[in-house]
Amino acid sequence: MKVENNFLSINEAAEKLLRNGTSDKTKQGGREASFADILSAKELERAAMPDLRFSKHAMQRITDRNMDVDDAAIKRLREATERAESKGINDLLVMVDDMAFIMNTGSRTVVTAMNAEETKDNVFSNIDGAVIA
């Protein structure tokens, strides 16, 4: 790849993005994620900032499982985190409707997310508490 005047041609930039796996389609959970999936995940990440973060793993799970995490759900996650922190809970399970989120309250980070199917008959370990939000 050659650089002229410190700028890449459109084709070279596209090639570079495709090689680095940051194209509009990336593999996620054995399927191709569409641009809309990626955009939705980034919008979710941006909406939650700065007082609530989603780990890369959690974002991938939300996208793979087609979970609808809207502004209302994010607000409930924030409130649950604040309530848990006030009780001294560090590692938290938050139930929001038919979704479950494992969070670290110290870093205010959602570590993973599950939909209703994954939560049935599951055992949650390494948590200090749970909040039904």
Domains contained in the chain, number:
1
Cα–Cα distances (Å) from 76 to 22, 87, 92, in that order, read 31, 17, 14
How far apart are the C-alpha atoms of 122 and 130, rounded to whole Å? 14
How far apart are the C-alpha atoms of 35 and 41, rounded to whole Å? 10
Could you read off the pLDDT of 29-39 as tens digits, one per residue? 556 778 877 77
**Domain-located, residue 3:** no
Question: In which domain, by residue range, is 36 found?
Answer: 10-132
**Domain-located, residue 79:** yes
**Domain-located, residue 67:** yes
The pTM is what?
0.63
Could you read off the pLDDT of 33-77 as tens digits, one per residue? 788 777 777 767 666 555 788 899 999 999 899 898 988 999 999
User: What is the number of other CB atoms lying within 10 angstroms of the CB of residue 92?
Assistant: 24
Cα–Cα distances (Å) from 61 to 2, 18, 73, 74, 114, in that order, read 37, 23, 16, 16, 7
